[in-house]
Structure 1
Amino acid sequence: MEAGELSTVVAVDGPSGSGKSSVSKEVARRLGLAYLDTGAMYRAATWWCLDQGVPLADARAVADAVRGLPLEMGVDPDDPTVRVGGTDVTADIRETRISAAVSAVATNLDARAELGRRQRAAIDAERTAGWSGGRGVVAEGRDITTVVAPDADVRVLLTASEEARLARRARELHGTADAAAVAATRDQVVRRDADDSTVVQFQVAADGVVTVDSSHLDLPGTVQAVLDVVQRALAARR
C-alpha cells in the first residue's frame, strides 16, 4: 500500500495506557499521514483555563474559555506540537497538574462539543489538503470512532488489560513499573478513565470498530496489528 495513494482517515480510540499515542504516531509515519492527538487538545484547553484563572468547577466559564481557545495543533507525526496563543505548550500540557485536572474539561459537554467541532475541521482539512497534502490523517482519542469521525475509513479500538496499561504509564512517567510507580500512576489512569466514561464510551468497541488488544504485544507488534487492520479495511473499500 503506497501512502501517496491514500486519502484516508484512521480513527483510533482507547483507554489511558493502551499505547494509542505511540501507535498512532508510528502508523501515521508509516503511511505518510498527518497525526492528530485529540487528547492533547483537551490538555491544551485545561492549560488555557488554568492560565486564564478560569475555575474548572464553573462549567459555563470553562465552555466559554474553550470556545475562545487560540489553539494551533501541529500534525506532523515526527513533531506533533501544541501552541496556545503563540506559546508552545507541548511539554507543559503533560505536567501532572494538567493530568490531574483535565477530566474537568473532558467531561464538560459544551467544551467537548467545541473541541469535537475543531477536531472534525482538522480531519476534513487533511482529507483535502493540510499538512498531509490530502493523503489523510490518523486521529486518536476517546470518541473519534463514534462521535468525531464515525465515517472514518478505518476505526480501531486499541485496548489492553489494566495491569498492562498501568505498567506502561508507570514506565513512561517514572522510568520503572515497580509497585510504588504503579501505585503513583493509578489515579491518572483508572480515575481518568472512570471520569471520562461518564460522557463517552471507549472501553467497548462500537459496531464496525475493530478491537486490537495490545496486552501482550510490544510497540512494533501493536503497530503492525493496526497496520494489518488498515490494510484489510482499505482493500475492502477498493
Structure 2
Amino acid sequence: MTDTSLDRSAADTSAVDFIAIDGPAGSGKSSVSKAVARRLGFGYLDTGSAYRALAWHVLDRGADTADADAVLAAASDFPVRLGLDPDDRTVRVGDVDITDEIREPRVSGAVSGVARVPAVRAQVNDLFRSLVAEAPYPAVVVEGRDITTVVAPDAPVRILLTAAPEVRAARRAGELSGENADAVAAALHKRDASDSAVVDFLNAADGVEIVDSTELDFPQTIDAVLTVIERLRGAHRG
C-alpha cells in the first residue's frame, strides 16, 4: 500500500511506462485493465477510486460535494492510500478502510461533484503521476476518464476503450445484481452527460487508439488491448 497525499507535485514518469486507458462507464475499462495488468505483471491504478475516496471524505466531514469550497477544503487534508497491486484494491483514508464504502450509492452519486472542481482534478492528477513515477513495476496500467489526454498525454500507450451505449448499460446492469436495467441505463446516461461536461472521454484524441468492445466478449477485449499495447510499446522503443 502506498501512502499518498494530494499536495504532491507532478513527477517525472519517464522511468516507468504509462499505459493510459480511457473510457466511459460500462466500457469494461476497470475489469479489462486489471486483467491486462495481471497478464503482463504490471501495476494497476484505478483513478476513479481516488475520486470516490475524496467524495467519501467530503461526506464523512458532513459536507456536500456540490459545494466546491467544501471539496477543496477536504482535498487539502486527504491522506488517501492507494495500492498498485491489481489483486489488492484496498483503499484507505488515514487508517480507515473504505474499500467497500466507496462503492455505495451515496458515494457514487456524489463523485461527479468532486470531479468537476478543476483545482481538485489538477491535484489528483499530480497524485496519479507521482504514484506511477514511484511504482515498483516496469509499467502501470492507469485507467480513468481523462488519462490519455490530461494525465498522461505523452504516454507510450494510450487507448480509448468504448462500446455502444446500450451494450455498456446492459453490462453495468449485469454487474449490479437486483438493479432495474432501465434505471441503470438512465443513471449511466446521466453520469456520461455530467462527466462529459468536464472532460471528453467519448472521443479519441489524436494518437489515441480505439478499442471498441461492442462486438467483443471479455477475453476478446483483453486480447485486443494486449495487441495494441504490444505494438505501441514496441514502436516506442524502436
TM surpasses 0.5:
yes
Match of 1:184 in 2: 183
Map 1:40-189; keep pairs closer than 5 Å: 40-126=49-135, 130=136, 132=137, 135-174=138-177, 181-189=180-188
1:124 & 1:172 partners in 2: Cα distance?
33
Match of 1:203 in 2: 202
Say whether the 8 Å CA contact 1:38–1:119 is kept in structure 2. Answer: yes
Corresponding position: 1:212 with 2:215 = no
Match of 1:222 in 2: 221
How far is 1:181 from its partner?
A: 2.2
How far is 1:25 from its partner?
A: 0.3
1:222 & 1:163 partners in 2: Cα distance?
17
Out of 33, 42, 53, the position equivalent to 1:33 is 42
Q: Residue 174 of structure 1: SS of its match in structure 2?
A: coil
Q: After the TM superposition, list the runs of 4 or more consecutive aligned residues in structure 1 that deviate by more than 2 angstroms.
A: none
How far is 1:168 from its partner?
A: 0.5
Give the aligned residue type for 2:157.
Answer: V
Say whether the 8 Å CA contact 2:91–2:99 is kept in structure 1. Answer: yes
Give the aligned residue type for 1:215.
Answer: T
Say whether the 8 Å CA contact 2:170–2:185 is kept in structure 1. Answer: no
Unaligned runs of 5+ in 1: 1-5
How far is 1:31 from its partner?
A: 0.9
Provide the TM-score with structure 2 as the length reference.
0.90
Say whether the 8 Å CA contact 1:67–1:114 is kept in structure 2. Answer: no
How far is 1:55 from its partner?
A: 2.1
How far is 1:190 from its partner?
A: 1.1
1:173 & 1:42 partners in 2: Cα distance?
20
Give the structure with the larger helix fraction: 1
How far is 1:110 from its partner?
A: 1.5
How far is 1:188 from its partner?
A: 3.1
Of 49-58 and 211-220, the range deviating more from structure 2: 49-58
Match of 1:193 in 2: 192
Corresponding position: 1:14 with 2:23 = yes
Q: How many residues align?
A: 223
How far is 1:8 from its partner?
A: 1.9
How far is 1:195 from its partner?
A: 0.7
1:67 & 1:118 partners in 2: Cα distance?
13
**CA deviations over 1:119-148 (Å, ceiling 9, x no partner):** 11112112xxx3x2xx12000000110001
Say whether the 8 Å CA contact 1:12–1:138 is kept in structure 2. Answer: yes
2:72 & 2:185 partners in 1: Cα distance?
28
Percent identity of equivalent pairs: 54
How far is 1:7 from its partner?
A: 4.2
Give the aligned residue type for 2:171.
Answer: R
Give the aligned residue type for 2:52.
Answer: R
Provide the TM-score with structure 1 as the length reference.
0.90
2:198 & 2:19 partners in 1: Cα distance?
22
1:145 & 1:229 partners in 2: Cα distance?
14
Say whether the 8 Å CA contact 2:156–2:233 is kept in structure 1. Answer: yes
Say whether the 8 Å CA contact 1:29–1:77 is kept in structure 2. Answer: yes
Give the aligned residue type for 2:80.
Answer: L
**CA deviations over 1:132-175 (Å, ceiling 9, x no partner):** 2xx12000000110001111110000000001000010000126
